[in-house]
Amino acid sequence: MEMITKNIPFFFNLRSITIAYLICYHYIKRNKKTFFISLFSSLILAFLLYKLDFLQPRQVLTQGFVGTYQTHDLPTEVAELLSDGLVKSAEDGKIKANLVTGWETNSDATVFKFRLKNNLKWVDNTDVLSTDLDFGIPNVEVKYPDEKIVEFHLKDSYSPFPSLLTKPIFKKGTLIGVGPYRLVGLEKSKIFITKLKLKSIERKFPELNIRFYPNEKTALTGFKLGEIHALFGINNSSVADNPQIRIHQKTFFKELVTVLYNTNEQLLGIRSIRQALSFISPKIDGMEVANNPLAIKSWAYDKKSKKYLANKEEAQEALQRAKASAGEEVLKKELVLTTTPYLEDVGKKVVASWKDLGLNAKLRVESGIPQNFQALLITQTIPDDPDQYFLWHSTQKKTNLSNYSSARVDKDLEDARKTSDDEKRKERYFDFQKALLEDAPATFLFYPKYNIFYLRKSEEKLMKVLPLQI
């Protein structure tokens, strides 16, 4: 036996293993208390090191945004990293409970009562109390019956009110939210934020540095210089030619690229002219066609509603009706489409289609929205809820840019606000779509795409965070 074991390595030598085992066993037996205290201490230390992030460095991702922001108006993509809303909007636009167990409303939709979930904590580990919250909604009185209930008292009936509470909540006067990230650093230039540093409560997310740039040009320069790994909301695609740069695109159903017609103007006051322009306007390649003032996924979207765009035959028929009612001379008037540099290429395509119909159309590019216009190509924000009172009701002089007025549409929008019954609201919104599209105070072109440019090497880190942002 000895002759065999001499040629076997130490760790295969049974005799050596047995001796080592006996030595350890007797040592532990004699020093049992010391051994278990040391073992327990080691486990506690390892756990603390893990929790305090000392075992391995966190991944860091730097994101860039264009615009000037203060603490009270952070972009949604940033605010939603720090906190969450009392309610949230589902894909179809219906409002669901989120940080609340639910809500109650009275019969005329003027009082709404929300109850916070139990054991809800801020990221500083204090309880979320109703009195911590500050909403600042105009013409709404807020009451706090107890530490878990928030009541909103409205002057007029407004059944879509819960849709106003999707914004992330923060402890009053702070940027302390409910996570998944917490703010650990903030830099400013005068009153505007230049940089934020965020740290995740959960280890699966990377640390985030957020940088803000005053304009698209400086943001693109920062991206090219490597200051940031991802750049949000940029429309200039010149950097996309670099093989190290990728682009993430998502159709954004909360905005709508629209041609608004000034219905008080002589030429565009004629409904059949507006219909002709809507029928002949082109479908834009690569973009999701709108055809409707509501988001296509909305629970109140009418799939059978009137369809316009790229229909020359219907456009010519509408133009003939206009000639019969208004005369040839009116149709010779100049028609100017005004837009911003961002939508200039789209504007050129729209104007070309109008010219193809025989109209004297021209494009004007301006830096801002003009006070007076004939036709205006802009990107409109549309609400999660199908209520579009502020865009189309005749009393909304500041936001109803087309000066559209229809007693039927006004009544549809008013009635839909007074009931919390979704089926009754849906009936009203179906009729609203039918009447509005027949009158054609606007041409609804497409839902724009949201662009994110990012470095290929940062893709894995970005894709961990992106679902929290868009």
Residue 451, Cβ neighbours under 10 Å: how many?
Answer: 18
211 beta partners:
64, 195
Quote the distance between the C-alpha of residue 57 and its chain's center: 31
More confident residue, 376 or 57: 376
Give the position of tokens 């909604």.
137
* Torsional class of 403: left (φ above 0), alpha (ψ -120 to 50), beta (otherwise): left
Per-residue pLDDT band at 38 (split at 50, 70, 90) = low
Question: What is the pLDDT at residue 20?
Answer: 61
Question: What is the pLDDT at residue 350?
Answer: 98
Between CA 253 and CA 264, with CA 259 as vertex, the angle to 5 degrees is 135
Question: What is the pLDDT at residue 24?
Answer: 65
Question: What is the pLDDT at residue 262?
Answer: 97
In the predicted structure, residue 136 carries a pLDDT above the cut 60: yes
Residue 103, Cβ neighbours under 10 Å: how many?
Answer: 19
Per-residue pLDDT band at 23 (split at 50, 70, 90) = low
In the predicted structure, residue 210 carries a pLDDT above the cut 90: yes
Q: Do 213 and 219 meet the contact criterion of CB atoms below 8 Å apart?
A: yes
Q: Do 290 and 253 meet the contact criterion of CB atoms below 8 Å apart?
A: no
In the predicted structure, residue 34 carries a pLDDT above the cut 70: no
The average pLDDT across 145-166 equals 96
In the predicted structure, residue 55 carries a pLDDT above the cut 60: no
Question: What is the pLDDT at residue 29?
Answer: 62
Question: What is the pLDDT at residue 428?
Answer: 98
In the predicted structure, residue 19 carries a pLDDT above the cut 70: no
The average pLDDT across 254-265 equals 96
Residue 211, Cβ neighbours under 10 Å: how many?
Answer: 19
Look over the chain and give the mean of its residue pLDDT values, rounded to a whole number: 90
- Candidate from 30-34, 141-145, 263-267, 449-453 with smallest mean pLDDT: 30-34
Q: pLDDT tens digit string along 403-423?
A: 999 999 999 999 999 999 999
For residue 172, the 8-state DSSP code is: T
Q: pLDDT tens digit string along 103-117?
A: 999 999 999 999 999
Per-residue pLDDT band at 43 (split at 50, 70, 90) = low
Report the run of H or E that residue 89 belongs to, with start and end: strand 87-89
Give the position of tokens 């695109």.
249
In the predicted structure, residue 46 carries a pLDDT above the cut 60: no
Strand order in the sheet with 111-116: 100-105, 111-116, 149-154, 140-146
Per-residue pLDDT band at 8 (split at 50, 70, 90) = very low
Q: Do 440 and 261 meet the contact criterion of CB atoms below 8 Å apart?
A: yes
- Structural domains for the chain: 8-51 (no CATH), 90-165 (3.90.76.10), 181-248+450-468 (no CATH), 255-447 (3.10.105.10)
- Cα gap 151→141, rounded to integer Å: 8
Distance, first Cα to last Cα, the chain: 72
Which residue intervals of 225-270 are DSSP H helices? Answer: none
Of the chain, the percentage scoring pLDDT greater than 70 comes to 87
Question: What is the pLDDT at residue 73?
Answer: 92
Q: pLDDT tens digit string along 278-322?
A: 999 999 999 999 999 999 999 999 999 999 999 999 999 999 999
Q: pTM of this prediction?
A: 0.83
Give which of 6, 80, 53, 15 is closest to 202, Cα–Cα.
53
Which residue intervals of 83-231 are DSSP H helices? Answer: 216-224
Report the run of H or E that residue 197 belongs to, with start and end: strand 192-200
Question: What is the pLDDT at residue 32?
Answer: 62
Per-residue pLDDT band at 26 (split at 50, 70, 90) = low
Give which of 314, 274, 299, 293 is closest to 427, Cα–Cα.
299
More confident residue, 52 or 371: 371
Give the position of tokens 């002057």.
155
Give the position of tokens 């790229």.
310
Q: CA of 422: how far to CAs of 85, 96, 425, in Å? A: 22, 13, 5
- Cα gap 342→236, rounded to integer Å: 9
For residue 397, the 8-state DSSP code is: T
- Cα gap 101→72, rounded to integer Å: 26
The average pLDDT across 29-42 equals 63
Question: What is the pLDDT at residue 12?
Answer: 46
The average pLDDT across 69-80 equals 94
For residue 227, the 8-state DSSP code is: S
